[in-house]
Chain A
Amino acid sequence: MSPIIVDRLIKSYNGTLAVHNLSFVVQPGRVTGFLGPNGAGKTTTMRVLVGLATPTTGRATFGDVAYADLPRPQQTVGCVLDASFHPARSGRNHLRVLASTAGANDRRVDALLGEVGLGDVARQSVGEYSMGMRQRLALAAAMLGNPDYLILDEPANGLDPEGIRWLRTVLRDFAASGRAVLISSHLLNEIEATADDIVVINRGRLLAQMPMSELKLGEGITRARVSDMRAALQALAALGADVQTAADEHGAYLRIHSHDVGQVGSALFGSGIVVDELVTERRDLEQEFFSMLESSR
Chain B
Amino acid sequence: MSGVLRADLRRITTTKLWWVALICIFVLSAGYAALPATVAWLQGRAGVATSPFNDPGIIRSIYNGGNVLSRILAMVVGIVAIGSEYRYGTLAASYLATPRRVRMLLGKAGALLIFGLIYGIVSVAAGMLVAIPFVLANNGSLLLDQPATWRSIILGVCSIALWTMIGMGIGILIKNMLVALLVGIILGFLVEPIVSVVFFVKRWDQLLNLMPTGATNAMLQITSPVLFAAQHPTPWWLAGLILATWCLLPVIAGMLSAVRRDVA
User: Footprint of B on A, CB under 8 Å?
Assistant: 47, 50-54, 67-68, 70, 73-74, 79, 81-82, 84-90, 93-94, 96-98, 100-103, 141
Give B14-40 as 1s and 0s: 1 = Cβ < 8 Å from A's Cβ atoms: 111000000000000000000000000
Which chain B residue lies CB-closest to A138? B93
B96 within 8 A of A: yes
Q: How far is the CB of A94 from chain B (nearest CB, A)?
A: 8
Out of A73, A82, A101, name the residue touching B89 (CB < 8 Å). Answer: A82
Contacts A53-B263, A93-B14; A98 near B7 (Cβ below 8 A): yes
Known: A51-B95, A52-B95, A54-B260. 12 other contacts (CB 8 A): A50-B96, A52-B262, A53-B263, A67-B99, A79-B96, A86-B14, A87-B88, A93-B10, A98-B7, A100-B6, A101-B6, A102-B97
Which chain A residue lies CB-closest to B14? A93
Which chain B residue lies CB-closest to A93? B14
Q: How far is the CB of A148 from chain B (nearest CB, A)?
A: 15
Q: When A and B form their complex, which 10 residue pairs have the shortest distance between CB atoms, in order from nearest?
A: A84-B89, A100-B7, A93-B14, A68-B99, A53-B262, A100-B6, A52-B263, A101-B3, A101-B97, A97-B10
Residues of A contacting B263 in the complex (Cβ-Cβ under 8 angstroms) = 47, 52-53
Which chain A residue lies CB-closest to B262? A53
> What bracket does the count of chain B residues touching chain A fall in?
20 to 34
In the docked arrangement, what's the CA distance between A54 and B6, Å?
A: 27
Which chain A residue lies CB-closest to B2? A100
* A-B pairs under 8 A by CB, number: 75
Residues of A contacting B98 in the complex (Cβ-Cβ under 8 angstroms) = 73, 101
Residues of A contacting B10 in the complex (Cβ-Cβ under 8 angstroms) = 93, 96-97, 100
6 sampled A-B residue pairs with Cβ under 8 A: A52-B92, A82-B92, A84-B88, A84-B92, A86-B88, A101-B7
Within 250-264 of B, Cβ neighbours of A (below 8 Å) are at 260, 262-263
In the docked arrangement, what's the CA distance between A94 and B67, Å?
A: 33
Contacts A73-B99, A87-B88; A98 near B93 (Cβ below 8 A): yes
Residues of A contacting B260 in the complex (Cβ-Cβ under 8 angstroms) = 54
B206 within 8 A of A: no
Give B96-118 as 1s and 0s: 1 = Cβ < 8 Å from A's Cβ atoms: 11111000000000000000000
Out of A50, A74, A96, name the residue touching B14 (CB < 8 Å). Answer: A96
